[in-house]
Every structure is written in C-alpha cells, then in structure tokens.
C-alpha cells in the first residue's frame, strides 16, 4: 500500500492535475479571505471555508480524482490492479491517501491563518480549527465519492460530472426533506444523504459528534463501494462466481444498512451529550449561572414555540435548540410547537400584541404566570447603510429565556425599582445596558429631585450617571434622607463635569472623594494597546476581592475603564470599603493635553478606580455606594472592546445593590462575531505572500509538466 501511495502521489505532480487543483483552492481561498476577513474583519474563517466548499472543492476535488480509476479502465491498465498481489482494498486505500495528501497541502496553509489573525484581535481558535478539520473531512468525502464514480466509468469527465452532481445534491437535500410530511421517512433519508446541514452545523460553531460520525461513515461507505466495484471485475458472471457476486451484493446492502442505523442512532443522543459549543462567547450553550438557576426550578414550566416544528427558518431552529438545552436540565421544563396557521389565536390568551412567527411564550403553570418573548427580541440587529439591510450582530436568546424563566418564578412583590437621577445633564445609558436592568427586574424610572418631594420609598438603587451640572442644596438633603433610610447609590463620575461640589458632599457622606487628575497606567499589561494616541488612560484594571468582580481579570474576561480619575477614601468607624478596580502599582497621576499624556506626579503607586463603600446607619440598616470613576466605562463602544465584559460588570453591580430575596441572573447579549482590524501593511504582506505561493504552485507545475513532455 505504501508503494502505491508514493507512486500515485508523485504522479499527480508529474502532470498538471495536482498543481491546478491546489491553485484553484488557494486562489478561491484568497479571494474569500479578502472579502470576509481582510475587508469585513470577521475573526473566524468559517464563512470563507463554506464559500470554498461550495465554489471550489465541489469542482476541484472531482477533477483531481476523476482519473484515478477511469483512466486505467480506459487504457486497460486496470488489468495490473486486477492481477496484482496486493488486495483491492489496499490499492483503493493507497490511492485515497495519495489524493488526501494532495488535498492536505492547501489545508495546511489555511491552518496558518488563525494564529496570524490572533495577533490583531480576539480570535476563536477552537472554532477556526474545527472549521478547518470539518472541510478537510468534507473534502475527503468528496474524494471518496469521486473515486467510486471513477471506478464505475471509463471516461474521467463523466466521473467528475457524476461526483459534482452527487455532492451538489447532498448540499441542498435538507431543504427537500423539510417538505416531506412523514417525519420518520425524512429522518431516515437525512441520515443517509444530507451533507449541507451537517456542514453548516460544524462551521457555525457547534462541534456535533454526529456530523463527524456521518462524514467518516460516508467516506468508509464509498471506499467500500469502490472496492466492491473493482472487485467484481475480477470475476465474470457464471455459476462458479454466483456465490461471490451474491456475497458482494449482500455485504454492500449490510454496509449501507449499518451506516443508516449508526447515523439514526447517533441522532437520538441528547443534545447536551452530542454537541459542544466552540464559539468564544458560548452562542449556542448556556452559561453556568443559567444552568444553576434552571436546575433550582421546582414549578412546572411550559414553553410554547409559535412555529411549525419543521420550519425553514434556521433562526427559529437556533431558538428551539436553546430551549431544548433548558428542558434537558430540568424535567419540570417542557416545550412544544404551536402552529400559527392551524391555531392562529393561541397567543391571545397571553398577550394582545401581534407576535412574529418564532416567538416564545414561557408559562409557569404552578403560579399561573407567563412571559411573552417576541421572536425579533432574541437578536441584536444593526443596519448596513450601504445596502439598507439589517443583519444580526448578536444573540440574546439565553438572556431573554433566562429572564422569562426568572420572571414567571417570581411573585409580584419580588420585583425591584430603580431611579435614574435627571436634571444635571447626566449621560444616558445605551440600550444594551438598559436591557440588563430589565433582566435584573429593575424598572428604571427617571427621577428629578427638583419636582419630587423625596427619593421614592420603593427605590432599590439611585443611579447617578456622569452628571455635568451640580445638585442644589435641597437635592442634597433629599439624597441624604434617602441614604439614612438605607438607600443604595450607583455613582459614575464625570471627567467633563466642573464645580460639582454638592455631588462631592454626597460622596463625602461615605468618606469618598474623586481627584481632579487622571490615572495614568505605566504597565503595558494594564492598558489597552489600541489605536489611541492616549492609550495609557484606557485602563485594564486589576480586580478586587468582591463577588462583584469575581470571574473577571483573566485574558478572556478583561474589563476596560477609559479615562479614570483616582478614587480615595478615609477609613472611619461605621464605614467599610472594598476596592473593586485598581491600577497596577506602577500608575501615576497625570492629565491629557491634546493627544499627549503629561505626568503631574512621577510617583508610581496603585490607584483605585472602582470602590464599594458601606455605611452603617443602625444595627439593622446600612447604605451602600458603589463608585466608578470612568464616565465612558458603561458605554457600547467601551463594552465592544472587551466583548461584553463591561456589561457583565454592570449587571453584577446592579445585582449587588438591588439584591433582595431573589438572586437574579442576567446574561448580556452574545456578539455573533468580534471583528479584527489588520493594519494596511499587514494586509498587503499577507496578500503578497499568498499570491506568490499561488503562482509558485502553478508555475512549478507547468515547468515540471513541460520538462516531462520533452524527456
């Protein structure tokens, strides 16, 4: 077998077959990498690889494999195979491995791309390499199919066309099966012949072991069929060879039935055992907080999906898959599909709003409480202003479902209220942060103390977000009265505010003050090294010992605090302090002049930029104030730099201040794809190297081919 492998592998490079196939794959790979990664900035290559499968491998690999047996059959040299002392199986396997080795050359080049991209941003390496392994298996499957087709005909072109047709149909059969009303028949056919759904599942960030098993089993099946196709040519049909032919026929049928059974059986494995979420931000799986909460539910929960079960909408299927994850964790949770066609009035029992197809209703049948989630609220949508089309940039499926499950398990008196101070030119929260308040069951209401008699008694948290103008004396007294009753404050300071002496008085009630200067970080591991002229003030702080910042601080969970002022505090009786966010011990005081950072004090020390202060009012009453000294910290732009970590910190902070009898779980929106930005010089270097490799392959192939023709 090894000798066959060496001879076949060498023969592909003595003609133009291998160089042309490699050239096509590298050229198309380069074009798709340009579109999806270099231009659009995607941090994974799954889109590039999927396009390569459709438009490159579907044609290049059958062309590469079409002569493997058909040419030998046409020239009658296949008699050497039929009379060789080596078994047919070893001959087939040797040729298959030779073709696989040729195909592995461009695949090896693609393996270099993820580490190169990771130099310029957060790249999900597991997702990228599983995608590469996926299309490698997919390519091996095409090769096995092409070899079988080549063994069936004397014309290489016919073998290539047949392989292309079989592969193409395999990519689109899933849409045809959805129209089959007989469920068991649809599943049986899908188990035998459905390439597309398995390919997209693996490339979309889910490591599905059943899809891996399917590709391997199809490869084995077609190699076996290829062996049987050649084997039968050793014998002419007669009474003496009838038993051999019958044996070949029976083993072929048995092999096909085994493949069908294995794939049908593997599909019955529960979702949580057969799939692994390999996306960097767990797009398709549940976080530990959600899992722990779901397992604690004791009431009977019914989830209704307003859609046909076999819908063509892939996003509805994603929602349903998440719901299945919830149901698999707790037997108290069940779900069912409700057709909006046959039962159009079903949702009217729960809401008067008109719901989109794919919407979800979560009902606690024990407490008779329900929550309605419109389908489009599961997704974060952005507008492309060049094409004026919306596209999905994030999934909020887990966030909305966990929120709904918590809501239906609550009693009405468990809900909390928060008030946002207004009237002082405060900053507004982005929608993504206000959504987190909803998920924490805080009904945020604006509060103007100029027109209100006091801070309302039901205020769990008073939110003061980066005020630019000062309080008046009467407002200070109202806030002081709120504090004395045990009220809690979340205070985000403003670098652009001036003369805020009365806000300083509020902080002084907790013996806290904020400096006028900025925190300048001198340790490169603790500031954001991005495209800013003043990057030393974009802090990556160290975490304190509080539960609020537990789980943050490592390479995958960094918090960013842009433009911070140092926070100081004075220890007094009745006051306890917890440092939440600090700089390294190499930070200094400074200011920004234009794009330049100027030091005010060269002394290097640790500075506090996030602080929790607790004031004891009486033996049973205390008031908390959490202060962050970065007005840009809880904004969409800052949060995007750290892939949602700042949102999680905000959620933890609100939870700590509003904590009642019920412990809330809040899940931020999961971004679909974090983009990377490659410098122009790097883009040019990658493009140049890639183009050089592409043309080096084809030129070397042509030179080798010309030399052999003149020998």
**Among candidates 278, 141, 108, 261, which has minimal Cα distance to 209?**
278
Per the structure block, which two tokens stand in for 201? Answer: 């599942």
Task: For residues 260 and 134, state if they share a domain.
Answer: yes
Please check whether residue 258 is in contact with residue 218, taking contact to mean a CB–CB distance below 8 angstroms: no
Instruction: Give the integer Cα–Cα distance in Å for 406 and 297.
Output: 9
Beta strand residue intervals within 293-349, DSSP E: 301-305, 333-337
Q: Name the residue among 110, 101, 29 with its Cα closest to residue 65.
A: 101
Question: What average pLDDT does the segment 421-445 reach?
Answer: 82
How far is the C-alpha of 26 from the C-alpha of 107, rounded, in Å?
9
The mean of the pLDDT values for the chain is 85
Given a cut of 60, whether residue 241 has pLDDT beyond it is no
pLDDT grade, residue 245 (50/70/90)?
Answer: low
Indicate whether 233 and 307 sit together in one domain: no
Q: Are residue 350 and residue 232 in the same domain, yes or no?
A: no
Does the pLDDT at position 148 exceed 80?
A: yes
Q: How many helices (H) and strands (E) does the chain have?
A: 24, 24
**Spacing of C-alpha 174 from chain mean position:** 24
Residues 6 or more apart whose CB falls under 8 angstroms from that of 688 comprise none
C-alpha 422 chain-centroid distance = 37
pLDDT of residue 436 exceeding 70: yes
- With pLDDT > 90 as the criterion, what percentage of the chain qualifies? 40
Residues 206, 342, single domain; the answer is no
Q: Is residue 550 part of a domain?
A: yes
Res 83: pLDDT: 64
What's the pLDDT score for residue 279?
A: 81
Mean pLDDT over 598-616 rounds to: 92
What is the rounded distance in angstroms from the CA atom of residue 458 to the CA atom of residue 653?
A: 19
Determine the angle formed by the axes of helices 2-14 and 680-709, rounding to 10 degrees.
100
Give me the residue label for tokens 């197809």: 357
Query: Residue range 422-437: average pLDDT?
Result: 85
Residue 509, domain extent: 410-671
Query: What is the reported pLDDT for 532?
Result: 46
Q: Are residues 138 and 229 in the same domain?
A: yes
pLDDT score recorded for residue 131: 93
pLDDT value for 237: 45
Token pair of 74 as six digits: 């046409």
Q: Is residue 6 part of a domain?
A: no
Give the C-alpha separation, 164 to 137, whole Å.
17
Query: Which whole number is the average pLDDT over 81-101?
Result: 83
pTM higher than the cut 0.95: no
Where does the pLDDT of residue 76 fall: very low under 50, low under 70, confident under 90, or very high at 90 and above?
A: low
Same domain, 141 and 268: yes
Residue 384 maps to which CATH number?
A: 3.40.30.10
Q: What are phi and psi of 460, to 5 degrees?
A: -80, -40
Q: What is the pLDDT of residues 474-515, one digit of tens each?
A: 999 999 999 999 999 999 999 887 789 999 999 999 999 999
Best mean pLDDT range from 190-199, 211-220, 662-671: 211-220
Two structure tokens written together for 467 = 């005020």
| pLDDT level of residue 239 (50, 70, 90 thresholds) | very low
Environment class of residue 288 by beta-carbon count within 10 Å: exposed (0-12), middle (13-18) or buried (19+)? exposed
> What values do phi and psi take at 90, rounded to 5?
-70, -35
Residues 586 and 457 reside in one and the same domain:
yes
Whether residues 267 and 300 fall in one domain:
no
Question: Is 5 among the domain residues?
Answer: no
Specify whether the CB–CB gap between 476 and 506 falls below 8 A: yes
Domain identity same for 502 and 485: yes
- 258 and 349, same domain (yes or no): no
pLDDT in tens, 527-583: 887 644 457 889 999 999 898 998 888 877 889 999 999 999 999 999 999 999 999
Tokens coding 598: 């100027």
Q: Which among 395, 419, 453 is the end of a domain?
A: 395
260 and 309 assigned to the same domain: no
Could you tell me if 543 and 609 are in contact, meaning their C-beta atoms sit under 8 angstroms apart? no
Best mean pLDDT range from 442-451, 491-500, 606-615: 606-615
Is 402 within a domain? no
The first and second tokens of residue 415, run together, are: 């809900």
Per the listing, tokens 């292309």 go with 164
Determine, yes or no, domain membership for 359.
yes
Kindly report, residue by residue over 249-277, the tens digit of the pLDDT: 677 788 778 877 887 777 777 766 788 88
- What does the alpha-carbon distance between residue 436 and residue 439 come to, in Å, rounded to a whole number? 5
Instruction: Kindly indicate the confidence band of residue 246, based on its pLDDT and cuts at 50, 70 and 90.
Output: low
How many angstroms separate the Cα of 540 from the Cα of each of 133, 280, 524, 654?
A: 35, 20, 9, 21
3-state secondary structure string, 554-584? CCCCCCCEECCCCEEECCCCCEEEEEEEECC
Query: What tokens appear for 636 in the block?
Result: 């969409």
CATH label of the domain that carries residue 520 = 3.40.50.880
Residue 661, pLDDT score: 45
Q: What is the mean pLDDT of residues 79-89?
A: 70
Report the b/e string of 605-630 with b at 16+ CB within 10 A. Answer: eebbbbbbbbbeeeeeeebbbbbbbb
Same domain for 664 and 683?
A: no
The total domain count for the chain is 3
Answer whether residue 363 is part of any domain: yes
The pLDDT tens digits for 301-345 are 999 999 988 776 778 888 988 898 899 899 999 999 998 888 989
- The mean per-residue pLDDT over the stretch 169-177 comes to 83
Q: Looking at the domain assignment, is residue 1 inside a domain?
A: no
At 340-389, the pLDDT tens digits run: 888 989 999 998 888 989 999 999 999 888 989 999 889 877 655 555 56
pLDDT band for 72, please (50, 70, 90 cuts): confident
Q: 509 and 476 in contact (C-beta within 8 Å)? A: no
* Residue 440 covered by a domain: yes
Instruction: Say which residue, 272 or 229, is predicted with more confidence.
Output: 229
């Amino acid at each position: 077998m090894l000798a066959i492998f060496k001879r076949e592998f060498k023969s592909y490079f003595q003609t133009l077959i291998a160089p042309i196939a490699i050239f096509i794959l590298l050229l198309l790979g380069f074009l798709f990498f340009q579109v999806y990664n270099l231009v659009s900035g995607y941090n994974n290559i799954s889109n590039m690889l999927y396009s390569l499968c459709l438009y490159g491998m579907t044609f290049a690999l059958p062309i590469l494999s079409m002569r493997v047996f058909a040419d030998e059959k046409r020239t009658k040299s296949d008699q050497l195979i039929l009379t060789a002392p080596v078994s047919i199986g070893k001959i087939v396997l040797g040729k298959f491995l030779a073709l696989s080795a040729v195909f592995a050359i461009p695949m090896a080049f693609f393996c270099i791309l993820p580490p190169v991209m990771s130099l310029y941003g957060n790249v999900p390496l597991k997702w990228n390499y599983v995608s590469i392994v996926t299309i490698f298996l997919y390519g091996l499957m095409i090769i096995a199919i092409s070899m079988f087709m080549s063994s069936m005909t004397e014309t290489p072109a016919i073998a290539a066309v047949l392989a292309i047709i079989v592969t193409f149909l395999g990519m689109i059969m899933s849409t045809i099966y959805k129209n089959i009303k007989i469920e068991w028949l649809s599943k049986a056919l899908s188990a035998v012949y459905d390439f597309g759904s398995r390919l997209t599942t693996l490339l979309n960030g889910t490591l599905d072991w059943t899809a891996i098993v399917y590709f391997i089993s199809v490869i084995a099946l077609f190699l076996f069929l290829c062996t049987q196709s050649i084997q039968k040519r050793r014998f002419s049909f007669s009474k003496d060879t009838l038993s051999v032919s019958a044996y070949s026929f029976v083993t072929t049928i048995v092999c096909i039935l085994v493949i069908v059974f294995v794939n049908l059986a593997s599909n019955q494995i529960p979702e949580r055992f057969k799939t692994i979420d390999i996306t960097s931000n767990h797009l398709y799986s549940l976080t530990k907080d959600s899992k722990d909460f779901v397992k604690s539910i004791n009431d009977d929960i019914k989830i209704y999906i307003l859609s046909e079960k076999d819908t063509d909408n892939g996003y509805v299927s994603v929602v349903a898959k998440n719901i299945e994850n919830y149901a698999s964790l707790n037997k108290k949770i069940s779900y069912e599909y409700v057709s909006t066609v046959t039962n159009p009035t079903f949702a009217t029992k729960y809401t008067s709003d008109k719901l989109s197809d794919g919407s979800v209703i979560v009902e606690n049948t024990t407490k008779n409480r329900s929550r309605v989630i419109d389908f489009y609220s599961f997704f974060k949508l952005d507008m492309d202003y060049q094409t004026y089309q919306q596209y999905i940039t994030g999934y909020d499926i887990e966030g909305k479902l966990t929120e709904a499950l918590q809501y239906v398990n609550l009693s009405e008196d468990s809900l909390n209220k928060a008030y946002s101070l207004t009237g002082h030119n405060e900053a507004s929260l982005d929608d993504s942060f206000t959504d987190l308040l909803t998920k924490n069951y805080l009904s945020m209401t604006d509060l103007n103390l100029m027109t209100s008699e006091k801070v309302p008694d039901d205020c769990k948290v008073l939110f003061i977000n980066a005020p630019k103008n000062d309080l008046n004396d009467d407002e200070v007294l109202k806030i002081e009265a709120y504090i004395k009753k045990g009220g809690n404050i979340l205070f985000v300071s403003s670098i652009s505010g001036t003369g805020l002496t009365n806000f300083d008085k509020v902080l002084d009630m907790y013996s806290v003050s904020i400096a006028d200067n900025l925190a300048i970080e001198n340790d490169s591991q603790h500031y954001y090294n991005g495209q800013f002229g003043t990057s030393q003030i974009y802090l990556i702080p160290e975490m304190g010992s509080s539960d609020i910042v537990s789980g943050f601080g490592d390479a995958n969970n960094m918090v960013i605090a842009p433009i911070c002022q140092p926070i100081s505090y004075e220890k007094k009786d009745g006051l306890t302090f917890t440092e939440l966010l600090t700089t390294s011990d190499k930070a200094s005081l400074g200011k920004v002049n234009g794009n330049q950072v100027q030091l005010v004090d060269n002394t290097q020390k640790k500075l506090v930029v996030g602080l929790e202060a607790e004031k004891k009012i009486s033996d049973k009453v205390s008031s908390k104030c959490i202060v962050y000294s970065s007005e840009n910290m809880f904004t969409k732009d800052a949060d995007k730099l750290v892939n949602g970590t700042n949102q999680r910190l905000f959620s933890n902070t609100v939870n700590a201040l509003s904590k009642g009898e019920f412990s809330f779980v809040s899940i931020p929106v999961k971004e679909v794809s974090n983009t990377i930005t490659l410098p122009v010089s790097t883009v040019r270097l990658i493009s140049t190297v890639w183009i050089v490799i592409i043309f080096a392959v084809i030129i070397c192939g042509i030179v080798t081919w010309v030399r052999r023709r003149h020998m």
